[in-house]
Amino acid sequence: MGGVAMNRKKEKQTTIRKKGIRLTLNVGVKLFLLFLISILLSVGITGVVSLSVSNNIIEQKSADSAYETIQQASAKVDTILEVYEQIVMQILSNINLHNDLYTATNERVEVYSQLTARNAVQDSLNRVAYSNNTIKNIALISSSEDISSFTTSSSSITEFDRESDWYQAIQAKQEFIWLHTRESGYTGANNSPQLAVGRLMKTNYGQQFVIIVEIDQRLLNDQVSGISLSESSSVYIVNENNELLHSEDPELVLQVAPLPIAKEGQMTVRGNDGQDYIVVSHFSEKAGWYVVGTAPVHELIKDTRIIRALLAWIVAGALLFAVVLSILIARSMGGPLRRLQALMMEGSSGNLNVRTNFKNRD
């Protein structure tokens, strides 16, 4: 009988130890996971928020810088356009040209004087056209079909469309009118894409002519080709329909640009390639077009890779620290709990002589 009692007592003590170990494991694991997850979450959330804020700040600063660059590019283009306006003014203010036009178109003047005057008009226009290699044609189009018109083009242009929108727009205003790139120009003198500037000319003799200076679209290429916002950025000029007004490839002229216009100045859009792009644009009041710059977002925020690398090291260090701290806390609390559990289980079995030796006051 005594042996049976001893065996039962041993089995009970074993059961108590197993339960104590199970409780200790459960409490220890919970404490371990609690501190580990708490530390990792706090460090991870802080790092992710910091990285996101850094990305947003750098992206916004880059967009602001890009917008300033596009504003400067737009102002540069407008300055170049003023050169062609001055060329038109040079024609308008040429008194000799006024006299020659009157003589060349006056039927009461002898034929020889008319021919001489026509040649003089032609020479005046040719000198201006030859002074700038981007000028493809200069035309003086009379408002009356009965009066001869003049052009520097070598092609034989005998008729002009005086009912066209661009002609009517120039004739209706006493100011410079900029005409956006058209596939074959406006007078039909060339087959290449050209933009143009025009103005109404009233001679000293009451005659009216529309001056139109047609310009090679490659002029716009030259103004934006050297501008870079990032490694693979693009800077171009489009009309209000987002059609390219210039390109190194003439076949792309008047094709729709791959990204929309940022009519509010700046925006971020996703391209057809799945990448996010910053798009900045500036509207030219002079020409009525948009100078647009685009750049991939990942190129603008590439400096945040340092922050991401630093964040990875911080998280790794926090993980190691969290593991060590969680183990220490789990042991410091789980061990006494296990001993206390065992003593209480012995007490519940009838052994009231058990005592604790804990010195902590918790």
pLDDT above 70: residue 11? no
Q: Are 88 and 211 in contact (CB under 8 A)?
A: yes
Given pLDDT bands bounded at 50, 70 and 90, which one contains residue 23? Answer: very low
- Closest-CA residue to 118 (of 154, 156, 157, 151): 151
pLDDT of residue 158: 58
pLDDT of residue 147: 83
Measured between its terminal Cα atoms, the distance across the chain in Å is 43
Enter the tokens of residue 105. Answer: 């178109």
pTM: 0.73
Enter the tokens of residue 120. Answer: 């003089």
Average pLDDT of the segment spanning 302-329: 73
pLDDT above 50: residue 332? yes
pLDDT above 50: residue 310? yes
Q: Are 103 and 113 in contact (CB under 8 A)?
A: yes
The upper half-sphere exposure of residue 280, i.e. CA atoms within 13 Å in the direction of its Cβ, equals: 26
What share of the chain in percent tops pLDDT 70? Answer: 86
Alpha-carbon distance of 228 to 311, in angstroms, equals 31
- DSSP for 96-112? HHHHHHHHHT-TTS-HH
13 against 173, higher pLDDT: 173
Average pLDDT of the segment spanning 301-319: 72
pLDDT above 60: residue 22? no
Integer CA distances (angstroms), 223 to 79, 85, 233, 236, 302, in order: 10, 17, 15, 9, 28
pLDDT of residue 181: 95
pLDDT above 70: residue 265? yes
- DSSP for 119-176? HHHHHHHHHHHHT-TTEEEEEEEESSTTS--EE--SS------TTSHHHHHHHH-SS-
Given pLDDT bands bounded at 50, 70 and 90, which one contains residue 15? Answer: low
Out of 94-108, 155-169, 195-209, 265-279, which region has the weakest mean confidence (pLDDT)? 155-169
150-151 and 177-182 strand pairing: unpaired
Mean pLDDT for all residues in the chain: 83
326 against 137, higher pLDDT: 137
125 against 22, higher pLDDT: 125
* Tokens 């130890």, residue located: 17
pLDDT above 90: residue 230? no
Q: Are 20 and 338 in contact (CB under 8 A)?
A: yes
112 against 50, higher pLDDT: 112
Residue type, 143: S
Residue type, 116: T
